[in-house]
Chains A and B, each alone.
Chain A
Amino acid sequence: MDSIPLWVLGTGQRAVIAGFDPALPEAYRQRLTEMGFHGGERVTCLRQPAFGAPRVYRVSNTVFSLDREIAGHILMQAEGVKA
């Protein structure tokens, strides 16, 4: 299945987590999982502040801000990206 990084989602778009890029350190993956980012979970991009600032994502009922280093390594199912 094709996957795209979470970072490319536009404001208001949502998609389902497919997995993690192997380049992401295991410890970070663990922390993301604890926070609710795990396979099959739906993530919505709420906000893209200007000037390349970390973006704001909603997972479950919690809102997190991730920078490109992290959000670029969370892989989303390319099919079924919804606005």
Chain B
Amino acid sequence: MTRRVMLVGSPNCGKSLLFNRLTGLRQKVANFPGITIELAQGAMADIEGVTLVDYPGSYSLRALSADETVAVQQFHTGLEDPEVSHVVCVVDVTRMEKSLYLTLQVIRRARRKGKQVIVAANLMDVLDSHGIELDLAGLSRELAVPVVALSARTGRGMDELVELLRRSPPPKPSRAAPDIEINDDVLVQKTAHRLAQRFGPRGDMLVRSQNRLDAFFLHSWFGGLAFFAIMYLLFQSIFTGAAPAMDAVESGLAAIAGWLMPLLGPGLAADFTSDAIFSGVGAFLVFVPQIFVLTLIVGLLEDSGYMARAALICHRPLRMFGLTGKSFIPMLSGVACAIPGVYAARAIDSPTKRRLTYMAIPLMPCSARLPVYALLIAVFIPQTTALGGLVGIQGLAMFGLYFFGLTAGLLVTGLASRRAAHRESDVPFILEMPAYRMPALKPLLQRSVHRCKHFVTAAGGVILGVTIVVWILGYFPNGGAELQYSWLAAIGRAIEPVFAPLGLDWRYGVAILTSFLAREVFVGTLGTIFGIEFAEQNMVPLVERVHSSGLELASGVALLVFFSIALMCVSTMVILARESGSWRLPAKMFMVYGAAGYLGAVAAYQLLSML
């Protein structure tokens, strides 16, 4: 017979680490679309036929936000499941009162459904290191459930817990301890307080050691410097640290193509494989290293306890724009690539703030915009310097574009938050400052791999579909010989009136159409149209051709405005739809940002043409 064991606990109680120990990292994670709730399931390593289900960390069974409602519902559904034999409630012994609040609620409900509760008193190693002893037998008597002294980090107490779980409990009527058969929140709180006072650790040395590190990390000056240094490293690692891996993906694909293409010989199949499959899907697979690196670093920041400090530091400035301190890392990631940024937004526990952050991320100047910006800046801005050679004008223009994107993002959230305010229930900004801890690397690596798989399976199909459509339109009817006579070019000419108010002809229209695959494709397409090979790698010939093609400065600025605002990345939209739970938000953003980008571009062109 198969059995299931539920694992519950308050946030930061070390539950995930315990889960990883008990399952030996063999887990399947179920995502609930639209919320950050993940239910991880894994077969217990030491007991045959027993599955462990990890429930999201929660302070109580009373939900405030949509996310918490789902989590609580899942918990109640689990209690109804006849296959569930035990509920393991993880208690952080260093912060007992907070953990006991949930524990008391859980014990009461689980008992009623005839499930055996085991309290896992975790983080005993921390108390050991301070020489603190607890009367857990007394706590066990009060709660009328077994309490196991445990350290998920060192492995202490694991055998005892497994032994308790091995025994399938005989069905018996709940042995009610009158003290905990309570329905009243005030009574739960009073009982949790009383038990924590009586059985919890005394003295404040636990808090004191944490406070010493906070004295540095939250110091007005050193804390700020540390923050900037850490964020700089994070940004660098997504932007440049992932580059070798991204190159490896590219050259790996090139190697496979090099081996495969001669086998196919010339013709339709070869063209399709090379241009649609390898180029199109390759352009999407290169995101994987960035997602991996960011997930890993964000995990390190979370598990070490620094994330809460970082959120605190940037909370005030972001709050002015309706965001929270936790929005910072997703937005910063968005400057490298929106997709890992959208994933990073999972750390935001408030659904409202998370949605606002989603709105800001695609406006961040992502690295796919960089080639487009670089091309247009090279075409229009002379390579001169100002302030006695200190400031390059081209660099200044690039900085201006980045600043424009950031400002646009904050403006949008600032406006949208005015509308969202008080419309729905939300969680307040109460942030637990977890103790600083050394993160365990293995589960973090596993989470990063899981995230990459999620991206590939979620976005792969749509990307492949769009790639094939664009390829067919560009390839037929003349077998890919000349792009300017393809269906794609015909479409470009047909919709030329759309681009006329920007002073652009069909060639730029086609390049914009193909850039919906990924923005940087704009440069490659222009290269193809102007008959320049490898335009992405070496832009100089293309810059000269675009320059001599008579593109006006006003049109160049219009293009920059459009590319800064419009949401045209299919991968981002797919992941936004998956993470936010529906296509509503990405569809709305696609239309609003597209319209705003277009109108902004028209305005810029018309205004500059008048001057």
Q: Which one of A36, A54, A61, A70 contacts B204 once the chains associate, using CB atoms below 8 Å?
A: A61
| A64 with B431, Cβ < 8 A, contacts A33-B189, A36-B97, A49-B313 known | yes
A61 touches B96 (CB 8 A): yes
Binds B, one of A1-9, A23-31, A75-83: A23-31
B 569-586 to A, binary, CB cutoff 8 A, 1 in contact else 0 = 000000000000000000
Q: Give Cα A61 to B62, complex, Å.
A: 23
Binds A, one of B82-90, B205-213, B482-490, B515-523: B205-213
Q: Give Cα A8 to B207, complex, Å.
A: 22
Task: Give chain B's interface residue range (CB within 8 Å of chain A).
Answer: 35 or more
A 58-78 to B, binary, CB cutoff 8 A, 1 in contact else 0 = 101111111101100000000
Binds A, one of B70-78, B193-201, B368-376: B193-201
Q: Which one of B59, B193, B223, B432 contacts A63 once the chains associate, using CB atoms below 8 Å?
A: B432
B 199-243 to A, binary, CB cutoff 8 A, 1 in contact else 0 = 011001011001100110010100110000000000000000000
B214 touches A62 (CB 8 A): no
Binds A, one of B17-25, B422-430, B547-555: B422-430
B196 touches A47 (CB 8 A): no
A67 touches B429 (CB 8 A): yes
Cβ of B316 within 8 Å of any chain A Cβ, yes or no, is: yes
Q: Give Cα A27 to B426, complex, Å.
A: 9
| Identity of the chain B residue whose Cβ is nearest the Cβ of A67 in the assembled complex | B429
B98 touches A35 (CB 8 A): yes
B433 touches A64 (CB 8 A): yes
Cβ of B158 within 8 Å of any chain A Cβ, yes or no, is: no
Q: Give Cα A53 to B211, complex, Å.
A: 17
B211 touches A46 (CB 8 A): yes
| Identity of the chain A residue whose Cβ is nearest the Cβ of B105 in the assembled complex | A34
CB A76 to nearest CB in B, in angstroms, measures 17
B430 touches A47 (CB 8 A): no
B 246-260 to A, binary, CB cutoff 8 A, 1 in contact else 0 = 000000000000000
Cβ of B28 within 8 Å of any chain A Cβ, yes or no, is: no
Q: Which residues of A contact B94 (CB under 8 A)?
A: 61
Cβ of B596 within 8 Å of any chain A Cβ, yes or no, is: no
| A49 with B97, Cβ < 8 A, contacts A54-B315, A64-B430 known | no
B189 touches A27 (CB 8 A): no
A38 touches B315 (CB 8 A): no
Cβ of A52 within 8 Å of any chain B Cβ, yes or no, is: yes
Within 8 A of A (CB), among B165-212: 185, 189, 193, 196, 200-201, 204, 206-207, 210-211
B95 touches A53 (CB 8 A): no
Q: Give Cα A50 to B211, complex, Å.
A: 16
Q: Which residues of B contact A28 (CB under 8 A)?
A: 428, 430
Cβ of B312 within 8 Å of any chain A Cβ, yes or no, is: yes
Q: Which residues of A contact B189 (CB under 8 A)?
A: 33-34, 38
Q: Give Cα A28 to B224, complex, Å.
A: 30
A47 touches B218 (CB 8 A): yes
Q: Give Cα A49 to B224, complex, Å.
A: 10
A70 touches B428 (CB 8 A): yes
CB A49 to nearest CB in B, in angstroms, measures 5
Cβ of B513 within 8 Å of any chain A Cβ, yes or no, is: no
Cβ of B64 within 8 Å of any chain A Cβ, yes or no, is: yes
B193 touches A33 (CB 8 A): no
Q: Give Cα A13 to B214, complex, Å.
A: 17
Q: How many residues of A contact B (CB 8 A)?
A: 32
Q: Give Cα A50 to B225, complex, Å.
A: 13
B218 touches A56 (CB 8 A): yes
Which of A30, A64, A65 gathers the greatest number of chain B CB atoms within 10 Å?
A65
Which of B97, B210, B425 gathers the greatest number of chain A CB atoms within 10 Å?
B97
CB A11 to nearest CB in B, in angstroms, measures 10
B 396-415 to A, binary, CB cutoff 8 A, 1 in contact else 0 = 00000000000000000000
Q: Which one of B97, B220, B428 contacts A61 once the chains associate, using CB atoms below 8 Å?
A: B97
B220 touches A36 (CB 8 A): no
| A70 with B218, Cβ < 8 A, contacts A36-B97, A49-B223, A49-B313 known | no
A32 touches B207 (CB 8 A): no
A31 touches B64 (CB 8 A): yes
Cβ of B60 within 8 Å of any chain A Cβ, yes or no, is: yes
Q: Which residues of A contact B214 (CB under 8 A)?
A: 46-47, 56, 63
A62 touches B201 (CB 8 A): no
| Identity of the chain A residue whose Cβ is nearest the Cβ of B12 in the assembled complex | A62
| A49 with B312, Cβ < 8 A, contacts A56-B214, A63-B433, A64-B432 known | yes
Cβ of B437 within 8 Å of any chain A Cβ, yes or no, is: no
CB B28 to nearest CB in A, in angstroms, measures 31
CB B444 to nearest CB in A, in angstroms, measures 24
Q: Give Cα A58 to B97, complex, Å.
A: 13
Q: Which residues of A contact B418 (CB under 8 A)?
A: none
Cβ of B308 within 8 Å of any chain A Cβ, yes or no, is: yes
| A62 with B432, Cβ < 8 A, contacts A34-B189, A49-B218, A54-B315 known | yes
Q: Give Cα A62 to B319, complex, Å.
A: 25
Q: Which one of A46, A51, A61 contacts B95 once the chains associate, using CB atoms below 8 Å?
A: A61
CB B180 to nearest CB in A, in angstroms, measures 16
Which of A25, A28, A31, A63 gathers the greatest number of chain B CB atoms within 10 Å?
A63
B200 touches A61 (CB 8 A): yes
A67 touches B207 (CB 8 A): no
A49 touches B430 (CB 8 A): no
CB B388 to nearest CB in A, in angstroms, measures 34
| A35 with B430, Cβ < 8 A, contacts A49-B223, A60-B97, A61-B200 known | yes
Given A56-B214, A67-B319, 13 further pairs, Cβ under 8 A:
A28-B428, A35-B98, A38-B189, A50-B220, A50-B224, A53-B312, A54-B431, A60-B98, A60-B196, A60-B200, A62-B432, A63-B433, A69-B428
A residues near B (Cβ < 8 Å) are: 25, 27-28, 30-36, 38, 41, 46-47, 49-54, 56, 58, 60-67, 69-70
Q: What are some 10 contacts across the A-B interface (CB < 8 A)?
A: A28-B430, A30-B185, A31-B60, A34-B98, A34-B189, A38-B193, A58-B204, A61-B201, A63-B214, A64-B432
9 A-B pairs with least C-beta separation: A50-B220, A63-B433, A62-B95, A34-B60, A65-B431, A60-B97, A28-B428, A34-B59, A67-B429
